[in-house]
Every structure is written in C-alpha cells, then in structure tokens.
Structure 1
Amino acid sequence: MSEVKLAAETRTEFGKGAARRIRREDKVPGVLYEHGMVPIHLTLPGHELLMALRTPNVLLSLDIDGKSNELAIPKAVQRDPLKGHLVHVDLLMVKRGERVVVEIPVVAEGELAPGGNLLEHVLSALSVEAEATTIADQLTVSVQGLTAGAAIHAKDIALPSGVKLAVDEDTVVLQVLAAQAEEPTGEEGEEAAQA
C-alpha cells in the first residue's frame, strides 16, 4: 500500500459558492471524518489528490495547516460526470494499527479452458477487514483452465496475512458462463425455419 503526503488547509466557508471558488483555484473541498468527533472541513490540492486517488485504497498523510499530521483513507469521491475532475472528497481518519473495512479490486489472471466461455465478474471488488496501513492494492485470482459452470467464491481467494473477509465466505466473486450458440442468419435461418 502506498502512502501519499498532501498539504491540506482547514476551511470555514461552506456552500456552493465557496466550493466553486475552491475548485477555480485547482483545489478540492473535502471533509475529514473521525470516529465520534466533529468533522474537519478541508481544502486539498486538486492535481495531487487526483493522482493519489488513482491507487485504490490509498493512504493519505495529511499535513493540516502545517500543524498536525493525520492519516486518512478515501471514503467517498465525487467527480464531475462530464469532465471527470474531482468535485468533493470524503475522507476517514485512521490510526496506525486500526482495522477498517474496505473493498479491494479483484483481478483475474490466466486463460479459461477452450470453448469460447465467458468470465463474469460478479463482484469487481471484495470487501475485507484489514489494518488501515497495510491494505493490498488488489487481489489476484487464477482462472487458468476453468470450464463452464465453475465459480470462485470469496473463501477461495488467498488473502494477505492479517486480512479477513467482510462478506459471507460462500459469496460468488467470479463465475464462468457457457458460450451461447449463435442463431443462424440469412439463408441458413430460412432453411432451418422450413425444415
């Protein structure tokens, strides 16, 4: 897991007008939540935050007003639907050694058995409980040689040390679907219909 340092400033202005002003300065408004505490409203550097969020479950080391250094993980990210730039971010403060529930992307590797079968990702990410500072970037699953009807359940996926499933172990994560026979077209379809 990568840790990214960001400079953050507390903010006292709220609402749409204030948020627009912040975004015009290539910054992103955000909120830092801590368990049972009053949320801290922040302004974060736009480009640096965008680059950091390319890593799933990135650990952010926030230097808030040059006074305090807090660790946080992304909780919710809002993007502009047309332009894709960041609009707002919610962060969750964490401590070293604290366990959190996060979703880790599942990546399949290998080739299915011959026959044109399809691999369906029932879940693109697996919900797990892990220490906040050691969250894996992805979980890799081998689908080498799987045939139609095969399924990989949550319990079948090898988890890093200290990581526990946060979903039912019998939850289907990946499954192999049988290839569909194509319907005949043109003259072939007419001949089949007359027979």
Structure 2
Amino acid sequence: MSDQIKIQVELREDFGKGASRQARRAGKIPAVVYGHGGDPVHLLLPTQETTLAVRNPNALLTLVREGQEHMVLPKDIQRNFISQTVAHIDFIVVQKGEKVVVDVWVHVDGEAAPGTTFNLEEASVPVLADATALPESVTIEIEGRQAGEHIYAKDVKLPAGSTLELEDDYVIATISETVEQDLGETEETEEPAVVGAKGGAAAEDSEG
C-alpha cells in the first residue's frame, strides 16, 4: 500500500525555460498541482527528496507550504532523456476516501508447465482504489499452466477494496508451447584450392 511522504515545498514565482533551468541548478524541481476545481498551483520541490519519493510512480505525497498540507499523487513525471533526472512533475490533489485509477505493476507467481513459454501481455493494469491505500502490484498465478491457456483479467488477484478497470475476458498473459529451432548439422566444406603465383591452381610436387 502507498506510504504517505511529507515534502516541504515553496511557491514558484518565476516561469519560462530559463527560470526552470535555474531552479534545477539550484536543486529544485518545477511542479504543478491540479485538482478539485481549483486553479493550478506552481511549486518548487527539493530535487533529491522528491526524486526518491517518486521512484514509486503511485507515491502518495503530502506537500507542505506555509503550514498547509495537501495530499497529491503524481500524474505525469517528465525526466531528462540523458541523465534520467526528474525535470518536471504534474500532481493531482486527492482526499482521504477518494477513489482514483492508477496503473499498477503485474506480479507473476509460479512457473508454467515444462516445455512452455510464458508471455506477459500487460506489464501493468489500471486499478481503482482508495487514494490513501493504493496497491503497489497485483498478482497472477501461472503455476503448472499448460500451452494454449490464457490468464484473464478475472484471474488477477487484487487487494481488498480495489477493482480492476478491465473486462473479465481481457487477456493479461498467455502460455504457449516452446519452439525449439533445429539448426541441423553443419556441412563440411571442401578446402579451397591454393592459387599459384600466375593465378592457376598450384600442382602437387611430382616424384622423381
């Protein structure tokens, strides 16, 4: 389930690309908070603390500013393509008891039958859950599954109080027969003729 993390933030007053670069050099991440009919609020968050917090993309955070606290969830996290550092975050405001839909990783338990190959069609699935109790993952069981079998949305194991936002017959994973490639025996090749100085094949030395 989601752990609530408190982060001290400050109001962002300068805007534009230049101001964003300056903020990042100062160890701060530009962010915008949306939700519940209010105007978007532009903030600056401490880089190191925030980066650690959003390693879980569904991390529940409490942003603290001037004594006021607001619970938020990351909606969009932009990262630098090269350094993979967090460049900007969009948050949505949530309240205790409010249900939200988030993408949750699929955990695979067990091993399929020998001679089969397991194929995970969906690495994550949309789950509706309480904003303050979001699951980190859901589970599918594949122990002993045979070739030709499918794991459907109805087979996904969910934590109490959460709902999978997919139709029951939606395919999450498949089991197929392992195909072994027969490379066959490597054919022996004849040794190439040795070319003489004048371009003809060199003759064997004669006895005598």
TM-score by length of 2: 0.84
Residue 68 of structure 1 corresponds to: 68
Shift in Å, 1:56: 3.9
Moved over 2 A (4+): 185-188
AA at the equivalent of 2:129: A
- How much identity, in percent, do the aligned residues show? 36
AA at the equivalent of 1:99: K
CA distance in 1, matches of 2:36, 2:182: 57
Residue 38 of structure 2 corresponds to: 37
Greater percentage in helix: 1
* Structure 1 residue matching 2:90: 3-state secondary structure: strand
CA distance in 2, matches of 1:49, 1:185: 56
Would the aligned equivalents of 2:10 and 2:44 in 1 still touch at CA under 8 Å? yes
Shift in Å, 1:112: 1.5
Would the aligned equivalents of 1:154 and 1:165 in 2 still touch at CA under 8 Å? yes
Say yes or no: does 1:20 pair with 2:21: yes
Residue 144 of structure 2 corresponds to: 145
Root mean square deviation, CA, Å: 1.4
Residue 50 of structure 1 corresponds to: 51
CA distance in 2, matches of 1:75, 1:144: 35
Shift in Å, 1:141: 1.9
- Of structures 1 and 2, the larger Rg is shown by 2
Any idea what the Cα deviations from partners look like across 1:48-106, whole Å, max 9, x if unmatched?
A: 11111122411001102x23100001111011111110011111110000011111111
Change (3 A) 1:185 1:26: farther
Q: How does 1:146-165 map to 2 (within 5 A)?
A: 146-165=145-164
Q: How does 1:83-162 map to 2 (within 5 A)?
A: 83-115=83-115, 117-162=116-161
TM-score by length of 1: 0.90
CA distance in 2, matches of 1:75, 1:186: 56
Shift in Å, 1:181: 2.4
AA at the equivalent of 2:76: A
Change (3 A) 1:14 1:185: farther
Would the aligned equivalents of 2:117 and 2:175 in 1 still touch at CA under 8 Å? yes
* Structure 2 residue matching 1:187: 3-state secondary structure: coil
* Structure 1 residue matching 2:180: 3-state secondary structure: coil
AA at the equivalent of 2:37: G
Residue 173 of structure 2 corresponds to: 174
CA distance in 1, matches of 2:22, 2:170: 45
CA distance in 1, matches of 2:90, 2:183: 52
